[in-house]
């Protein structure tokens, strides 16, 4: 299972979110069809572009609650002071991807930043 964690500024478009996901997926030599779900923090649950992107890609969007997001934070690779202040995690996209991918999950690399959106890919612990 591969999860794309999404972080963003307010008011992003579906095109912004798709561009970040496509860039991250391509950077890891994957196809968009490899994605199992998108994940983001509770603080982003009303950012319409994120669920709209999930619908466009025909994948579910997992909203990660604050406690679970913070529990996944030690596994993040990137650090954003703004993310830490607003969400309590050094990287919303990385922590959300890790949390949604489950126990033993790992990031494929640090988050990708494309304009106002960050995307991090995590693979579940049940795969090599």
pLDDT in tens, 53-104: 999 999 999 999 999 999 999 999 999 888 888 888 889 999 999 999 999 9
Task: Report which of 50, 41, 64, 59 is spatially closest to residue 12, judged by C-alpha positions.
Answer: 50
Q: Is the pLDDT confidence value at 127 over 70?
A: no
Contact 12, 105 (CB under 8 A): no
Q: pLDDT value at position 128?
A: 46
Contact 21, 7 (CB under 8 A): no
Q: What is the C-alpha to C-alpha distance for residues 108 and 124, in angstroms, rounded to an integer?
A: 10
pLDDT tens digit string along 5-17? 999 999 999 999 9
The runs of H, that is alpha helices, within the chain are 14-27, 49-57, 66-72, 81-87, 92-101
pLDDT tens digit string along 91-125? 999 999 999 999 999 999 999 999 999 999 999 98
Q: What is the C-alpha to C-alpha distance for residues 106 and 34, in angstroms, rounded to an integer?
A: 16
Q: What is the CATH number of domain 2-123?
A: 3.30.420.180
Predicted model pTM: 0.93
Domain range summary for the chain, segments of one domain joined by +? 2-123
């Amino acid at each position: 299972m591969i999860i794309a964690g999404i972080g963003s500024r307010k008011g992003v478009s579906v095109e912004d979110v798709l561009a970040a996901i496509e860039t991250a997926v391509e950077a890891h030599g994957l196809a968009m069809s490899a994605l199992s779900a998108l994940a983001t923090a509770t603080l982003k649950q009303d950012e319409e572009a994120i669920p709209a992107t999930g619908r466009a890609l025909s994948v579910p969007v997992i909203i990660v609650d604050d406690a679970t997001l913070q529990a996944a934070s030690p596994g993040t690779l990137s650090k954003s002071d703004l993310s830490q202040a607003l969400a309590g995690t050094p990287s919303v996209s990385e922590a959300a991807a890790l949390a949604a991918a489950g126990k033993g999950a790992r990031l494929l690399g640090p988050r990708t930043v494309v304009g106002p959106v960050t995307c991090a890919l995590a693979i579940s612990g049940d795969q090599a």
